[in-house]
Structure 1
Amino acid sequence: MAAPQTETPKAELPDPQEVARTYAEVAQRASKLLTEHMQRESKRGIQPPSDELGVAQAFLDMMKKLLADPYRLATAQMNLVWDYFSLWQHSMQRLWGLSPTPVAAPDKSDKRFKHEDWQDHFLFDFIKQSYLITARHIHDTVSSVDGLDEESQQKVNFYTRQYIDALAPSNFAFTNPEVFQETMRSHGQNLIKGFNNLLRDVEEGDGKLRIRMTDTSAFELGKNVATTPGKVVFQNDMMQLLQYTPSTAKVNTRPLLIVPPWINKYYVLDLRDKNSFIKWAVDQGNTVFVISWVNPDARHAEKSFDSYLSEGVLAALDAVIEQTGVKEVNAAGYCLGGTLLASTLAYMAAKKDKRIASATFFTTLLDFSQPGELGVFIDEPQVQGLEKKMAARGYLEGSEMATTFNMLRANDLIWSFVVNNYLMGKDPFPFDLLYWNSDSTRLPAKMHSFYLRKMYLENALSEPGGIELCGVKIDLSKINVPCYFISTIEDHIAPWKSTYLGALRLGKTPRFVLGGSGHIAGIVNPPVANKYGFWVREDGKLPDNSEDWLKDASHQAGSWWTDWQAWAQAQDPGQVAARDPATGKLPVLEDAPGSYVKARLDKAPR
């Protein structure tokens, strides 16, 4: 096939010295990595193939079912041929100067085909539509096989989508018009630079590909991210407790204790001044405390879910009350931090401990019966495989968890960077959210095994007395404090219909709010942005079915933050003079953001 004719900028010869330097660096890196790989493989010996994920078996079962129904298979093939024929007709009409309706069009949110040549250039339009037709038919065929069990069907659907996404024409140099133009313009220097970027990422991943999503050198904690002023006023082996400096003369009587997840770091709530939930909450007159979890290593292998409860939330609660002299606090938990907060509230209810007066849950799972696509990675064989890895080193490596989450949105969090970094030969753009996303955390072996087994595999938290923490059987129905539940409609990590099931488990009906966007963007949604909006039912009812709730919910413009603040303000008995962390009863240990949060795994010496 002749090379596609595209309009390209005037080609400029590259600088010979720069080309020589780039080639030398590529050769040096490639040689070093190849040597290191061979040394590792020789130490490991020949490893038999394994299928810990159960993917091969799932596809084998799917193929057996599919081949047992030849009529359906033949129908699928004929439909594919018909669509190809329609595409051929469409292409002929375009050659004749007509503007027919496309046979297949990408979703409006699909960023892979935004370049104008995907629409305007005959050949690239043909490639795009051919891919979309094939992708649709492959997915439709494997997702409609009769007789396949639900677990296998989920795996087939998920990994088929990974395969389809990987083979998108946008991911290859000569079928992506933007990459093709850059290759012609730079005489292929983009591909050489991209290969150098690839080697750098493998090098920094210690033999494994760690795709760089942002320029990490552009950010520094305490300088241009996590900058809200405050002090570390308490710490133990599990966490540091940060108290933020007030910005108002008066503050609400009850302080706010935030429990973030330990799968990620807390400063997603404090990225920049303009999108920091923590700064905004301080500016609304809240005395804000936040837990900054330790980034665990082998020394923390025996730290359990109990440890996060007792040495985390309860220890922080003791410190907040000692620091402020109050008898009651408000608490908020994000994702896994919300799961821990609910567990703590149930524990406290059993102990007749009423020091937490209200609770807010951000995208929190309490009922794990419908975990969404994360369930693809969590079954008995996979958990056993993880437990073996964790037993050897005492923790789950942060990069492994990050890869799992990235696969849930592969086009945005994997393939877009493959194109930018390796095909276009560009360095990633500095972006605070992606800097945070790349700041991985480890998970202690004992805690993570308990979490996966008891929460995901057994869904024991949702059952009264299903789990025991610190010697107490946990019953979510005993939680009777006012609660606010915020979920997001596009959440892939904690699907909103699943979080809704958890909200039903509480002893007191919460205010349930559904925000726009996803797990992060829907939460980090400041009022000044005026984006997404949210749904709420002002009658306060929480029917058994989530769709029934949504049917009668009204959509509100703006950010859920203001709705939450109005709700939280109504829970508070009054105001007191602002509380300066530097003059509290607890000694100041260091300035926020503290030292625990600064432990980056990708900066650790090897």
Structure 2
Amino acid sequence: MPRKPSSAPASTPPQAPHRAARAPRPAETPTQKLDRLAQAAAAPLTGGLSPVSLGLAAADWAWHLALSPGRRLELAALAMQLGRQHLAEGWAPGDESPPPDEDPRFRHEAWAQWPYRQWRAGFRAAETFWSEATQVPGMTTHHAQLTHFFARQWLDMLAPANWPATNPLVHQDLWHNGGAHLRQGLQNWLADATGTPDDNAPPQRFRVGHDVAVTPGKVVYRNALIELIRYTPQSAKVHPEPVLIVPSWIMKYYILDLSPHNSMVRYLVQQGHTVYMLSWRNPDARDAELTMDDYLRLGVLDALQAVGVQHGADTPVHAMGYCLGGTLLAIAAAALARPQGVAGQDQLPPLRSLSLLAAQTDFSEPGELGLFIDEGQIDWLDHTTRGQGYLSGKQMAGSFEFLHSRDLVWARRMREYLLGERDQPNDLMAWNADSTRMPARMHHEYLTDLYLNNALARGSYRVEGRPVSLDDLHLPVFVVGTQRDHVSPWTSVYKLHHLCDAEITFALTNGGHNAGIISEPGHAGRHYQMATRPAHGPWIEAADWAASAPRHEGSWWSAWQAWLAARSSAPQPAAQIPKASVLCDAPGTYVLQRYREKN
């Protein structure tokens, strides 16, 4: 049953979280503890990746290739063909050169000159060969994807742009500037390697509550897991139905309240909506046994009840969730919609609509992030998290660096260490560096139930001991996918159409998982496609949808806000936040919790 919303003063420390009724994990035996300690000690040496999972993938590839002489002949023929092309293109006489390369690493005109164009052509040939060589018939799909992925990682590391001996920009600097930028790059590397202050680093900016997360508001509810922020109205009239935003707990909430010009919260408030935002507490080792049920109950349901206290339990709520917060919100909405509902549902306001931004509900094709999730990898992670009680922000960041090592690792190091150019921070980069943790048990359940077993899509995910089905959803749904999303591929997000017959408005915007969502009106180069499938409408395949959905220039925010307004009552005079419910000013205290991570 949802707990009564807190009215404790801001100085009152939160009590220990109430834990959902799930069986405790069995205690470790001495031999299990020995295994855990041994594997946890080895984890930093493998970048947090299971050597067993990687070894099985390599063995699957090697054995199938060894037993496939025909495939080896095909690859040998491909190697000879690529070699001839390399000689013909890379070593062509005269001033002829290949067309400009779209890869940012090789876009500079210097790469078209001899001998750099030969090195670039050789690298491109190697990419083509290994893309084909890692695909051997008979391999499991997961092992083939892993083999292909890590072959690409290896090639990205060996790219000629990453090394001073083969990078023409470094050579030009040595000739024209005596290597001044290379010396500065060495200083940058030393500063990063030793952790000493860097005089070349840009000044610190984008402080929470000063430069970002500055939309005026008050914390009106707090429990041991969340603070709930209600934002001050910025229009004379507001729609009666409030908007409750559930961000992912693997990130700080202010991704949706960055600088004033690109704050989604500020935009909604200015458009006449009353907005509430969950701010998740950054967990520590004492929270190791928090579960997904705890996040559902203490997060979504307690916040929903608190909104009902502010506006009345009969006032409908527009609920929006981003990333994993959207997945959790979809689970909550399905639990509320099932015939038996949830405990204490009579105290909760009804949902008027559901909006899911870059949020998966079907994890059968989760993209490259799924490469790191199998039984062996989850067991390896469990040995790390069970000892420390959480997955650290630094450990999570390592996985994302693997996914985008070309941009997040090698391209950045080339700029900073070879060319001496420090990246100039922006608000999104500052937010990305403000990492959070995930409790050990919740992290295990999240990976096992959602990614590994795809329980939500299969109708076997349980809330309060009973399964939930997204097919019980009948309220209108607005779904957003982004074209270059490495966390929630838009084709995976789109699969909600398969799982429920509700009216679904789907918008596909350009950009990635973060930049595509933070797409404020007036942002240059933004566009999106959007179409609505009516309730019980026919299924349209994702590729066919993308080929037929109308394209619109500008920000999808305006379309979403119009969608919300069309499903809201007529605006009424704005009411101020009741003083009796105010605990402290926004952005609150939980968003400021940070830890110095050792691993």
**TM-score, normalised relative to structure 1:** 0.84
Partner of 2:414 in structure 1?
A: 419
Partner of 2:392 in structure 1?
A: 397
Q: Could you list the per-position Cα deviations for residues 512-541 of structure 1 after superposition, in whole angstroms to 9, with x for gaps in the alignment?
A: 222222211211111211533222225644
- Bigger shift: 350-359 or 401-410? 350-359
CA contact (8 A) 1:251 1:577 kept: yes
Partner of 1:574 in structure 2?
A: 570
Partner of 2:155 in structure 1?
A: 164
CA contact (8 A) 2:43 2:384 kept: no
Partner of 2:33 in structure 1?
A: none
CA contact (8 A) 2:337 2:473 kept: yes
Trace 1:60-139 onto structure 2 (pairs within 5 A): 60-94=59-93, 96-97=94-95, 99=96, 101=98, 106=101, 108=102, 110-119=103-112, 121-139=113-131
Look up the equivalent residue of 1:141 and give its one-letter code: A
Q: 1:198 to 1:91 in 2, by over 3 A?
A: closer
Trace 1:107-506 onto structure 2 (pairs within 5 A): 108=102, 110-119=103-112, 121-143=113-135, 145-185=136-176, 187-188=178-179, 190-204=181-195, 215=202, 217-325=204-312, 327-350=315-338, 351-352=340-341, 353=345, 355-464=350-459, 466-506=460-500
Look up the equivalent residue of 2:242 and give its one-letter code: P
Q: Write the distance in 1 (CA, Å) between the matches of 2:241 and 2:432.
A: 32
Look up the equivalent residue of 2:234 and give its one-letter code: S
Task: Structure 2: state its 5+ residue gaps.
Answer: 1-37
CA contact (8 A) 2:497 2:539 kept: no
Q: Write the distance in 1 (CA, Å) between the matches of 2:45 and 2:403.
A: 28
Q: Write the distance in 1 (CA, Å) between the matches of 2:52 and 2:149.
A: 12
Q: Could you list the per-position Cα deviations for residues 7-55 of structure 1 after superposition, in whole angstroms to 9, with x for gaps in the alignment?
A: xxxxxxxxxxxxxxxxxxxxxxxxxxxxxxxxxx9x9799999954511
Q: Write the distance in 1 (CA, Å) between the matches of 2:286 and 2:278.
A: 20
Q: Could you list the per-position Cα deviations for residues 214-240 of structure 1 after superposition, in whole angstroms to 9, with x for gaps in the alignment?
A: 857222112222221212221111011
Q: Could you list the per-position Cα deviations for residues 395-450 of structure 1 after superposition, in whole angstroms to 9, with x for gaps in the alignment?
A: 11111111112222221111122112222233331221111111111101111111
Q: Could you list the per-position Cα deviations for residues 540-599 of structure 1 after superposition, in whole angstroms to 9, with x for gaps in the alignment?
A: 445153223333322222211111111111110121222333x35512x22221221122
Q: Write the distance in 1 (CA, Å) between the matches of 2:406 and 2:62.
A: 26
Q: 1:47 to 1:598 in 2, by over 3 A?
A: closer
CA contact (8 A) 2:90 2:121 kept: no
**Cα displacement (A) at 1:288:** 0.8
Do residues 547 (structure 1) and 543 (structure 2) align? Answer: yes
Trace 1:498-537 onto structure 2 (pairs within 5 A): 498-537=492-531
Q: 1:549 to 1:91 in 2, by over 3 A?
A: closer
Q: 1:254 to 1:204 in 2, by over 3 A?
A: farther
Q: Could you list the per-position Cα deviations for residues 283-341 of structure 1 after superposition, in whole angstroms to 9, with x for gaps in the alignment?
A: 11111111011111111111111111111111111111212336211110001000110
Q: Write the distance in 1 (CA, Å) between the matches of 2:326 and 2:67.
A: 46
- Bigger shift: 394-403 or 537-546? 537-546
Q: Could you list the per-position Cα deviations for residues 185-213 of structure 1 after superposition, in whole angstroms to 9, with x for gaps in the alignment?
A: 554454454344334434459xxxxx9x9
Q: Could you list the per-position Cα deviations for residues 98-144 of structure 1 after superposition, in whole angstroms to 9, with x for gaps in the alignment?
A: x2545xx64x3x2111222112x22112211111111111112213x
Q: Write the distance in 2 (CA, Å) between the matches of 1:444 and 1:361.
A: 24
**Cα displacement (A) at 1:379:** 0.3
Do residues 564 (structure 1) and 545 (structure 2) align? Answer: no
Q: Write the distance in 2 (CA, Å) between the matches of 1:273 and 1:216.
A: 20
CA contact (8 A) 1:117 1:177 kept: yes
Q: Write the distance in 1 (CA, Å) between the matches of 2:67 and 2:499.
A: 43
Task: Structure 1: state its 5+ residue gaps.
Answer: 1-40, 206-210
**Cα displacement (A) at 1:362:** 0.2
Partner of 2:6 in structure 1?
A: none
Q: Write the distance in 1 (CA, Å) between the matches of 2:498 and 2:439.
A: 30
Q: Write the distance in 1 (CA, Å) between the matches of 2:97 and 2:42.
A: 58
CA contact (8 A) 2:252 2:434 kept: yes
Q: 1:339 to 1:183 in 2, by over 3 A?
A: same
- Bigger shift: 48-57 or 372-381? 48-57
Q: Could you list the per-position Cα deviations for residues 60-82 of structure 1 after superposition, in whole angstroms to 9, with x for gaps in the alignment?
A: 22122223233332332333333
Q: 1:300 to 1:140 in 2, by over 3 A?
A: same
CA contact (8 A) 2:229 2:276 kept: yes
Look up the equivalent residue of 2:133 and give its one-letter code: T
Look up the equivalent residue of 1:590 and give its one-letter code: C
Taking only the aligned residue pairs, the percentage that are identical comes to 36
Q: Write the distance in 2 (CA, Å) between the matches of 1:270 and 1:240.
A: 15
Q: Write the distance in 2 (CA, Å) between the matches of 1:85 and 1:333.
A: 53
**Cα displacement (A) at 1:263:** 1.0
**Cα displacement (A) at 1:180:** 2.6
CA contact (8 A) 1:261 1:337 kept: yes
What is the SS of the residue equivalent to 1:429?
coil
Look up the equivalent residue of 2:118 and give its one-letter code: F
Q: 1:505 to 1:307 in 2, by over 3 A?
A: same
Q: Write the distance in 1 (CA, Å) between the matches of 2:140 and 2:236.
A: 61
Q: Could you list the per-position Cα deviations for residues 485-534 of structure 1 after superposition, in whole angstroms to 9, with x for gaps in the alignment?
A: 11112211111111111343135131122222221121111121153322
**TM-score, normalised relative to structure 2:** 0.85
Q: Write the distance in 1 (CA, Å) between the matches of 2:188 and 2:371.
A: 31
What is the SS of the residue equivalent to 2:499?
coil
What is the SS of the residue equivalent to 2:494?
helix
CA contact (8 A) 2:228 2:279 kept: yes
Do residues 59 (structure 1) and 51 (structure 2) align? Answer: no
Look up the equivalent residue of 2:481 and give its one-letter code: S
Q: 1:289 to 1:53 in 2, by over 3 A?
A: farther
Partner of 2:8 in structure 1?
A: none
Look up the equivalent residue of 1:234 and give its one-letter code: Y
CA contact (8 A) 1:487 1:499 kept: yes
- Bigger shift: 231-240 or 357-366? 231-240
Q: Could you list the per-position Cα deviations for residues 356-376 of structure 1 after superposition, in whole angstroms to 9, with x for gaps in the alignment?
A: 211100011111111111111
Q: Write the distance in 2 (CA, Å) between the matches of 1:553 and 1:90.
A: 41
CA contact (8 A) 2:335 2:468 kept: yes
Q: 1:510 to 1:340 in 2, by over 3 A?
A: same
What is the SS of the residue equivalent to 2:564?
helix
Partner of 1:9 in structure 2?
A: none
Q: 1:236 to 1:498 in 2, by over 3 A?
A: same
Look up the equivalent residue of 1:375 and give its one-letter code: G
